[in-house]
Amino acid sequence: MTKAGSGADLYLTWKDIVTIASVVVSGVMSYKTYKLLKEKRDFGNLPTPCSGIDELIGNTPMVLIKSLSEATGMNIYAKLELNNPAGSAKDRVALNIIKTAEKEGLLVRGKPGVVFEGTSGSTGISIAMICNALGYKSYISLPDDTSNEKLALLESLGATLNKVKPAAIIDPNQYVNAAKKACGDLNRENEDKPDELRIRGIFADQFENESNWRAHYEATGPEIYKQLNGNIQAFIAGCGTGGTISGVSKYLKEKIGLINLHVVLADPQGSGFYNRINYGVMYDTVEKEGTRRRHQVDTIVEGIGLNRITNNFSKGEHLIDESIRVNDEQAIKMAKFLSVNDGLFIGSSTAINAVAAVILSKNMKPNSNIVIIACDSGSRHLSKFWKSAVAIDSEVSLDEIMKS
């Protein structure tokens, strides 16, 4: 073989050929590596910028909970609703309530409007944030013992707050009734005003409003289905208004089949849903005369558990196969367990769902896919639930949790 130069030693040895070939191959390889790195550095899959935080709601990620999956022989996934901009699944509900009101002409974009709600929980925070993004105001009435972090968030968002004494739902000053009344008062004051001076008010009414379960039927359910290619054997959620469990179950059962998906309502102590689903009676022993404490549902867990039937629960009640009861101690220990073993810093209702997943796993075929809702983050619960959870030994075992 002839070398590029001249003279008698112009032949390439096999050694030369191997050297040249390896230089070429490594050149190609490093170009490929460079391209791969470049693609990574270009963050090719990043979504394009959007024009408001409302557009960031939904499309939440899902994560495999490794510790629980390995221990149970299942694949237990958490749907991370805490990734929504205002920090919970309630963003979807608040946005759908407002958009539906706009479609019905009850709110008009660019004109003054106020969204009223009675809530001590995440819905108020979602309403306040979304109202700010869309040019409306929010009015939240809530019990005067609402946790400091929730109050601070609502105040930071500039919501008008009406703090009332905790009371039963039949009391006209109960916080939901107070919000409804304030909304009615505003609309009456404004009904005769010319359009340009008129302030429109809507009562969000999350427990009864159809936009609640529909938000989950139209988006949360389809997202879960897509994220697991429809391969889902069980779905677990708690029930506050019932919007999440009704909307997601309805979508998933329509797609997967009534008997192919097992839907579980994870219920905290003191709530009536456990007996309602398993025995057809809405009752809990805390309702026995003389045993009832200040709050309707006697648990440290926030956002789930109730002792009345709401429209959003009714919509999906027939789709719920079973309710699993979880006590506060189990929830508190599970929260610490997931934080320490998986880096998952979650709120109290998510901890309840995780305990229910472990209990359910005993009756599921190995390798089943179980999805739980991770409604919000531990940071919403620092002053109450996590005050207890932080004190739990980091070495707490799953066995200890289950025996609690």
Scanning the structure block, which residue is given the tokens 């609690």?
A: 404
Distance CA 111, CA 88 (A): 27
Distance CA 198, CA 209 (A): 24
Q: How far is the CB of 198 from ligand PLP (least distance, A)?
A: 31
Task: Pick one of 238, 268, 305, 316: the residue that binds ligand PLP (CB under 6 A).
Answer: 238
Distance CA 75, CA 69 (A): 5
Of residues 174 and 349, the one with the C-beta less far from ligand PLP: 349
Task: Pick one of 261, 282, 376, 378: the residue that binds ligand PLP (CB under 6 A).
Answer: 376
Scanning the structure block, which residue is given the tokens 């069980």?
A: 234
- Which residues lie closer than 8 Å to 82 by C-beta, 6 or more apart? 88, 346, 347, 350, 374, 375, 376, 377
Q: How many other CB atoms sit within 10 Å of the CB of residue 300? A: 19
- Asked if 304 interacts with ligand PLP (CB under 6 A), we say yes
Kindly state the number of chain residues that form the binding site for ligand PLP, as judged by CB under 6 A: 19
Of residues 75 and 88, the one with the C-beta less far from ligand PLP: 88
Q: How far is the CB of 344 from ligand PLP (least distance, A)?
A: 15
What SS3 state is found at 63? strand
Of residues 113 and 247, the one with the C-beta less far from ligand PLP: 247
Binding pattern to ligand PLP, positions 42-81, x when CB under 6 A?
----------------------------------------
- Which residues lie closer than 8 Å to 288 by C-beta, 6 or more apart? none
Q: How many other CB atoms sit within 10 Å of the CB of residue 257? A: 9
Give the footprint of ligand PLP on residues 119-148 (CB under 6 A).
Answer: 121-123
Q: How far is the CB of 106 from ligand PLP (least distance, A)?
A: 22
How would you classify the pairing of strands 322-326 and 262-268?
Answer: parallel
Give the footprint of ligand PLP on residues 249-278 (CB under 6 A).
Answer: none
- Which residues lie closer than 8 Å to 33 by C-beta, 6 or more apart? none
Of residues 284 and 376, the one with the C-beta less far from ligand PLP: 376
- Token pair, residue 354, equals 């995780």
Q: How far is the CB of 47 from ligand PLP (least distance, A)?
A: 26
Q: Which stretch binds ligand PLP (CB under 6 A): 7-15, 45-53, 301-309, 320-328?
A: 301-309
Task: Pick one of 201, 221, 316, 347: the residue that binds ligand PLP (CB under 6 A).
Answer: 347
Q: How far is the CB of 274 from ligand PLP (least distance, A)?
A: 15
Q: How far is the CB of 353 from ligand PLP (least distance, A)?
A: 9
Phi, psi dihedral angles at 152 (to 5 degrees): -60, -40
- Asked if 239 interacts with ligand PLP (CB under 6 A), we say yes
> If 0-12 CB within 10 Å is exposed, 13-18 middle and 19+ buried, where does residue 325 land?
buried
Helix, strand, coil: what percent of the chain each, to 5? Answer: 45, 15, 40
Q: How far is the CB of 369 from ligand PLP (least distance, A)?
A: 21
Three-point CA angle 295, 301, 303, nearest 5°: 80
What SS3 state is found at 199? coil
Q: Which stretch binds ligand PLP (CB under 6 A): 169-177, 259-267, 297-305, 383-391?
A: 297-305
Task: Pick one of 58, 87, 113, 240: the residue that binds ligand PLP (CB under 6 A).
Answer: 240
Q: Which stretch binds ligand PLP (CB under 6 A): 40-48, 172-180, 192-200, 234-242?
A: 234-242
- Asked if 243 interacts with ligand PLP (CB under 6 A), we say yes
AA letter at 12: L
- Asked if 349 interacts with ligand PLP (CB under 6 A), we say yes
Scanning the structure block, which residue is given the tokens 């007996």?
A: 275
CA distances from 342 to 227, 334, 391, 402 (A): 20, 11, 18, 18
Binding pattern to ligand PLP, positions 177-196, x when CB under 6 A?
--------------------
Of residues 186 and 320, the one with the C-beta less far from ligand PLP: 320
- Asked if 244 interacts with ligand PLP (CB under 6 A), we say yes
- Report the residue number whose CB is nearest to ligand PLP: 303
**CA nearest 260: which of 312, 217, 323, 321?**
321
Contact residues toward ligand PLP (CB under 6 A) are 88, 121-123, 238-245, 302-304, 347, 349, 375-376
